[in-house]
Amino acid sequence: MTGWTILCDFDGTISVEDVIDSLLDRFGRPGWETLEQDWRAGRIGSRECMTGQVGLLDMTQEALDKHLSSLWIDHAFPAFVAKTRELSTPLRVVSDGLDYAIHKILGRYGLDDLPLAANHLAPATPPRQWQLTSPFQADGCRSGTCKCAVAAQAAKTGTKTLLIGDGASDFCAADRVDFVFAKHRLIEHCRAAGIPYVPITGFEDALELLPRLLDGSLLAEHTPGEPALAVTIP
């Protein structure tokens, strides 16, 4: 063990595009855009939004599987996973997305055995209908998967925790981990909140930075009590 546990977002972090957005664009019946607007405005939480949106999907199992087969992950993610396993560093995928989709996509790369916390997608009746449940929700949290609770659980193992993420669903958890590899909107959040982080564009960067994380040098570049500054990748 290296003394670190890694929690990694899926949509937009591991995957090239957001899976649920791509499904709604292709198979969503009218009304999902209104739910999206309500979520972005803060009127509803992501769990309520996604539960409603999944209920508006109109697709067969075959159509779902065919669509998922067209979605891709960051080309360097398999190498990153291989390195974490070589270094005995636990990695868990923590997503506010869909477990079925994540398993199907990662399965094409032989990675569907990664531990996963995500919302559960299941067929409903009548045919072509779907339903969402959230086995990793938490009291007082409006997300389907409470990443804060998962981060708290990881901290109980006695290891430090790295979060790899890209967006709003990662903001809360970023406040509760020891270090962040941040993409997109998460970069601005970490900068504004003074959270120790490095900006990455993908898993090539993460792979290069991992040894510096595990040997402590990345953390050493952040002085406790002072605002965190982005670390440049050499």
7, β-bridge pairs: 92, 163
Q: Are 13 and 94 in contact (CB under 8 A)?
A: no
Residue 52 falls within a domain, yes or no?
A: yes
> What is the span of the domain harbouring residue 91?
4-220
In a domain? residue 234: no
Q: What is the CATH number of the domain that holds 59?
A: 3.40.50.1000
Number of structural domains in the chain:
1
Q: Is residue 109 in a domain? A: yes
Q: How far is CA 187 from the centre of its chain?
A: 14
231 is a domain residue: no
**Whole-prediction pTM:** 0.92
Phi, psi of 219 (to 5 degrees): -65, -35
Counted residue by residue, the chain has a size of: 234
Within a domain: 152? yes
Residue 220 has a pLDDT of: 87
pLDDT, position 42:
94
Can you give the pLDDT of all 234 residues of the chain as single tens digits? 569 999 999 999 999 999 999 999 999 999 999 999 999 999 999 999 999 999 999 999 999 999 999 999 999 999 999 999 999 999 999 999 999 999 999 999 999 999 999 999 999 999 999 999 999 999 999 999 999 999 999 999 999 999 999 999 999 999 999 999 999 999 999 999 999 999 999 999 999 999 999 999 998 886 454 444 445 554
Give every CB contact of residue 156 below 8 A, 6+ residues apart in sequence: none
Dist CA 174 CA 179 (whole Å): 8
Q: Residue 230 falls within a domain, yes or no?
A: no
Tell me, what's the pLDDT at 222? 67
